[in-house]
Amino acid sequence: MHSSALSIYKLLFPVLLGAAKLLNRLHPRLRTFFSVRKGLFEELEKTAEKLPPSAFRMWVHAASVGEFEQARPIIAAMKEKHPDIILFVSFLSDSGYNARKNFPDASAVFYLPPDTANNAKRLIALLRPDLLLLMRYDFWPNHLLEAKKQGTTLMLAAAVLQTHAPYFNPLLNSFYRTIFHLFDSIYTASEKDSTAFRELFGCMRVETAGDPRFDQVVLRSRNHARVDHLKPLFENLTVLVAGSVWEKDETVLLDAWQTLAKRPSLIMVPHQVTPENLAHLEADLLKRSLSSVRISQLNGSFDPRRQILIIDQTGYLAELYTIASMAYVGGGFGVNVHNTLEPAVFAIPVLFGPRYHNSPEAEDLAASGGGTVIHNGNELAAALKIFSDESAKRVATGEIAGRFVRERAGATAIIVTGIEREYAAHKRA
């Protein structure tokens, strides 16, 4: 049964979409949203007509790249067992699409079209998915309703019900109750989330699996070829890798780092590797009388004891943590901290700013003692001093971080078991 809130959504969304189209010339984000979706259905039609009609079709939807990373170990496991699976991947955000548009296991990677009933009917008719795996959140009712109507199995994975999320708004409870009841299976990140789904929304087909992102970071931690040439340069040195840093992170970090009598070698990885960001960072370093080298210009004269290494190319960060003694993860002085699991898996202390409450894994890492939350430069300087001067403390904190990740791995196997049941039913049909 559809809630009144869902009925209102179905009436209002086309109106709001029309208004957004009228305003898109004045708003760059809206303009991008519509422009990147031009020709979407035509491209999918070309792809769909070439695909075998009888193969099992799995559609993975992720809001952005972070949610897709949660899906990757699930995709890898299913593809390894069943190479014949047809995979579709959709994104809401342009950052997610641009990062994974060439994902090799997918027959098509595309932007999710605006959530109108007509778009949903057209998309589902093209994909004809046997299973939709939706990662964490990003619920678009018309697409979910149409997929359900056409017999697609709906699966929600890595589901999290955060305390301050709109799900708990009394005015929206019936809306989300209706949405959640569309799913045939819900795999949550924690037992707390499972309890909330059951008690607050009446969902009984819920299982606690954990977060597959833990499995993904464990898998990725085995890759290090990209940084093998750096390891001899930093051998026997204490190394601080500052990953995904924004301008505010850079200021707080450099202010703190410069106060240290015993400074760790520093590797800085800007969140956005653009000419403007790199120029700003290098200008700041120059004002501070600090020498730096870009990795693209690295040569035999580089000295990590007196020069900062700037990563001006993409694809390095996850592997850089293999040579780190400790990590600072950026974003915590902006909207939200970035990936804290990537460094934690290497059993090193992880430091980050105060805005981390949209990342349950960062909250739990801090609570475990493997993550250190800092609120200003003085706190960061104090933490860096301890981890630089006291190797035993650094190792002990790192072990907590590493154990935190290892103990939470295993979600992929649970979710894949559920997908396997659908795959087997499809083969029997």
What residues are labeled active site? 67
Of the candidates 126, 127, 124, the one whose C-alpha atom is nearest the C-alpha of residue 147 is: 124
Quick count: other Cβ atoms within 10 Å of Cβ 289?
7
Residue 105 in contact with residue 75, Cβ under 8 Å? yes
SS3 of residue 269 by DSSP: strand
Phi, psi of 32 (to 5 degrees): -65, -45
Cα distances from 229 to residues 320, 348, 371, in angstroms, run 11, 21, 29
Cα distances from 105 to residues 35, 46, 100, 378, 413, in angstroms, run 26, 18, 11, 47, 19
Phi, psi of 125 (to 5 degrees): -65, -35
- DSSP assignment of 273-301 equals --HHHHHHHHHHHHHTT-EEEEGGG--TT
User: Which residues are bridge partners to 269 per DSSP?
Assistant: 243
Amino acid at 306: R
SS3 of residue 97 by DSSP: helix
The first and second tokens of residue 61, run together, are 């939807």
Residue 71 in contact with residue 65, Cβ under 8 Å? no
Phi, psi of 345 (to 5 degrees): -60, -20
Phi, psi of 316 (to 5 degrees): -95, -35
Phi, psi of 298 (to 5 degrees): -65, 135
Helix axis angle for 191-201 and 173-180, nearest 10°, is 110
Cα distances from 363 to residues 62, 65, 110, 249, 359, in angstroms, run 22, 20, 32, 19, 6
Amino acid at 136: R
Residue 178 in contact with residue 6, Cβ under 8 Å? yes
Q: What angle do CA 236, 240, 244 make, to 5 degrees?
A: 145
Amino acid at 382: A
Question: Using CA of residue 91, residue 95, residue 101, residue 106, what is the dihedral sign?
Answer: negative
